[in-house]
Structure 1
Amino acid sequence: MINVNGKSYPTISDIMKVPENERKGEDYLNKMSGIFLVTSSSFKNTSTGNVFTQATVCDDKKVANVKIWEKVEAGSLIFSHYEYSSTYHSFSLKPIRIVNAEKAPEIAEALTPHFDVGNLERCLKYLIKSVENVHLRKLLEEIFRKDSQFYTSFVNATAASQNHHVGRGGLFFHTISMTKIALNLISSYPNLNRDLIVTGCLIHDIGKVETYKDAPTFDYTDEGKLENHIVLGVKMLARFIDRIPDFPPELESILTHIIASHHGRLEFGSPVTPKIPEAMVVNFADEIDAKLNAVFEVFDEMETNNWEKVEMLKSDIFKFEI
Structure 2
Amino acid sequence: MLYLSRQTNGGFNMNFTQFNKNGGVEGFCLIKTVDRKMTAKGVPYLDLTLADPDGEINAKLWDYKEELHGEFSANDLIKVRGTVQPFNDSQQLRIERIRKVTEADGVRIEDFVPSAGFSGEAMFDELMKAALSFKDSELKALVTELLNEYKEKLLYWPAAFRLHHAIRGGLLYHTLSILRMAQGVADIYPFIDRDLLFAGVMLHDIAKTEEFDVAQTGIASGYTTDGNLVGHLVRGAMAVDRCGKKLGISENTLMLVEHMIISHHGEPEFGAAVRPMFLEAEILSSLDTLDAKIYEIEQACRAVEPGEFTPRQWALDNRKLYNHDRNHADFKAELIK
Cα displacement string for residues 260-317 of structure 1 (whole angstroms, at most 9, x for unaligned residues) = 0000000001111101110000001111111111111223333221111334313211
- The alpha-carbon deviation at position 319 of structure 1 amounts to 1.3
The percentage of aligned residue pairs carrying the same residue is 24
Native 8 Å contact 2:30 2:52 kept in 1:
yes
CA separation in 2, counterparts of 1:231 and 1:260?
6
CA separation in 2, counterparts of 1:182 and 1:59?
37
Native 8 Å contact 1:37 1:111 kept in 2:
no
Q: Which letter does structure 2 place at the counterpart of 1:239?
A: R
CA 316–108 in structure 1, closer or farther in 2 if over 3 Å, else same: farther
CA 172–30 in structure 1, closer or farther in 2 if over 3 Å, else same: closer
TM-score (norm 2): 0.64
CA 285–31 in structure 1, closer or farther in 2 if over 3 Å, else same: closer
Indicate yes or no: 2:164 matched with 1:164.
yes
CA separation in 2, counterparts of 1:108 and 1:126?
26
Larger radius of gyration: 2
Cα displacement string for residues 213-262 of structure 1 (whole angstroms, at most 9, x for unaligned residues) = 222551311111111111111111122112212x1101111111000000
C-alpha RMSD of the superposition: 3.5
- The alpha-carbon deviation at position 182 of structure 1 amounts to 1.6
Q: What's the counterpart of residue 184 of structure 2?
A: 184
- Which of the numbers 222, 225, 228 marks the counterpart of 1:222? 225
CA separation in 2, counterparts of 1:61 and 1:187?
43
Q: What's the counterpart of residue 124 of structure 1?
A: 127
Q: What's the counterpart of residue 29 of structure 1?
A: 11
The runs of 5 or more residues in structure 2 that have no matched partner are 15-28, 34-50, 56-72, 77-91, 327-337
CA 171–59 in structure 1, closer or farther in 2 if over 3 Å, else same: farther
Indicate yes or no: 2:254 matched with 1:258.
no
| 3-state SS, counterpart of residue 162 of structure 1 | coil
CA separation in 2, counterparts of 1:59 and 1:294?
24
Native 8 Å contact 2:214 2:220 kept in 1:
yes
CA separation in 1, counterparts of 2:255 and 2:108?
43
TM-score (norm 1): 0.67
CA 235–321 in structure 1, closer or farther in 2 if over 3 Å, else same: same
Native 8 Å contact 1:163 1:311 kept in 2:
no
- Which of the numbers 247, 250, 254 marks the counterpart of 1:248? 250
- The alpha-carbon deviation at position 140 of structure 1 amounts to 1.3
Native 8 Å contact 1:37 1:59 kept in 2:
no
| 3-state SS, counterpart of residue 322 of structure 2 | strand
RCO higher in structure (CA 8 A, sep ≥6): 1
Instruction: Give the 5 Å matches for 1:204-215.
Output: 204-215=204-215
Q: Which letter does structure 2 place at the counterpart of 1:218?
A: A
Native 8 Å contact 1:60 1:114 kept in 2:
no
- Which of the numbers 305, 317, 323 marks the counterpart of 1:319? 323
CA 135–227 in structure 1, closer or farther in 2 if over 3 Å, else same: same
CA 59–318 in structure 1, closer or farther in 2 if over 3 Å, else same: farther
Native 8 Å contact 2:128 2:144 kept in 1:
no
Q: Which letter does structure 2 place at the counterpart of 1:29?
A: G
CA 260–61 in structure 1, closer or farther in 2 if over 3 Å, else same: farther
